[in-house]
Chains A and B, each alone.
Chain A
């Protein structure tokens, strides 16, 4: 289980996205130039951090980072 702060750090460091905390709830299109590549990269980084497999297919339709966080870490 990783905290929201860890999640934000991973997004910032692994994807090099300048993320403000409020961006978590924004639609991804508003935040950055989001792509499925960034999503898979994020999942790989989360898996490395937690040692747990994350199901990607369910995340592809999420529209916010908050939603991805909730699903990926099961919060």
Chain B
């Protein structure tokens, strides 16, 4: 078929017609990202998903293994009260967009209660990573007597909530997956089936209580997430087509399901610790109205004019993200001094120079600048989101750095904010104190760079830095941060085992485990909890399961001080040896030599480059002079490990 229509969706269809969808993952992901940022993004992604969902996941995995490509398979069990098959297409596309291969398992019609109840159902299957229980209003209305009164609804929602609470509690005790529920919309055909206004109001009150109680389940159970459909529905489109509901029992329509699928796509990213960390913004016509080089500082606006105010609102959104740990940076084609002057002195600016960890205002290409910012912050560009109003710049970055999430703004600044927030790139399960303080931490990083530039040697720099390390037994308040470190740390992560909060809690509660948090500070400020160490006692020996350390602080002697302290502790406790393991990934190559450098002997090299080490505790490495380390676990666990 020849076509003049070269839209990304058309190109995807052509790949499909040529039978190349099972092998060209990079091309598919790139097309999906273009489709997502198009005018009909959600609907077109669903169309794309219909094509992609016809592929055989096993065939894709086989081919990927043969060609050495990385695809991340994720098994998602879907169940619900009504017809839920239409969710598979948008979910397939959203997952493929993030590099995941969806392996869906779709339950039978109206099987959600049975699936939740029955430990042999697909929801409980060992492979299942996400269990989506899609709720809709008919779960209540189907159970009402006919005709019904508002009192019937009140009774039914109360009983249904009690039943769900019991089933969900049972599920989280016996299954490993993250369970996803949703709030339930109320239709006008329901409220207006009641003719008296007082009853209508009571129906609305009962319905809101039901939804509030549903949301409460995610407060009550750590591994339960509840997606609030209200904001998704408010974005537009009918909740469903009444004809789909009547003839095909589809209670949630394509538009709502595609928005729901997008949320789930970002949820799986968050669960895997693939949250983006940095937002890089352009300046001219992105943060302010006008072009600084042409219009001058007095000719640009981010307040006072109609268009200016729209930019001011966008700056507030960027500031809001920054206050929650998103590191902000600038890449702008401008003269640096002019940019700094505006950020310091221009009366319209919400964001100031001190809000940004890096300000790259120069005439180099933007992909080069993003790479430079990544190097300076010691982060990968795959943790970057880039927002720019120029399609030339967004196109360049999308092509040259495909792992960067690109937000294509345009000449309508009133829509900048919704475009930036259309995807949940920065979604995390829980925000920690370290997250909130991250902007400050990265600005401290800049001050450290300056000190390093001024110091005569690295040793001199480290001495002046005045590093303090605190090694502590992890207690409940630090669990969220410690789990997050295992999820998000890629470089200094010796075995790259990803643990959710429940996994960390299990280890804390096990007397044979030692879970330590590493906190550091220096003269420029407190870095917070920057690392963790997990070890397990077995038959008089200590096995280090993993150690992670934030890339912000390594190569300052902190890792040496921690390991030296642990080894001394093991020796003093009468343990015979300490074992360690290194499992290589694409990103943790720089810690391959960590254990040998601490005096461990290499015991074996396994398949896939796995290394195992043993330390006989004869010679304990000295703690570096420039680090002052304190620990609270030495006395408190006396007799616990030894």
Contact = CB atoms under 8 A, between A and B. Distances in A.
Interface of A: 13-16, 35-37, 39-41, 43-44, 56-57, 60
B222 interface: no
A40 B47 contact: no
A30 to B, nearest CB: 18
Nearest to A37: B248
20 contacts: A14-B47, A16-B50, A16-B53, A16-B54, A16-B89, A37-B83, A37-B86, A37-B244, A37-B248, A37-B250, A39-B247, A39-B248, A40-B241, A40-B243, A40-B244, A40-B248, A40-B250, A41-B244, A44-B241, A56-B247
A56 to B, nearest CB: 5
Nearest to B13: A13
Contacts of B50: 15-16
Nearest to A14: B47
Contacts of B47: 13-14, 16
Name the prevailing secondary structure of the A interface residues. Answer: helix
B54 A36 contact: no
Contact of B247 (A13, A14, A15, A40): A40
List 4 tightest A-B contacts by C-beta distance, closest first: A16-B50, A37-B248, A36-B248, A40-B244
A35 B241 contact: no
B74 interface: no
Name the prevailing secondary structure of the B interface residues. Answer: helix
A17 B563 CA distance: 60
A6 to B, nearest CB: 14
A36 B248 CA distance: 6
A44 B54 CA distance: 22
A12 to B, nearest CB: 8
A57 B53 CA distance: 29
A60 B248 CA distance: 11
A19 B441 CA distance: 58
Interface in B241-264: 241, 243-244, 247-248, 250, 254
B85 interface: yes
**Most chain-B CB neighbours within 10 Å: which of A40, A43, A44?**
A40
Contacts of B83: 37
A60 B47 CA distance: 23
Nearest to B51: A16
Nearest to A60: B247
Contacts of A16: 47, 50-51, 53-54, 89
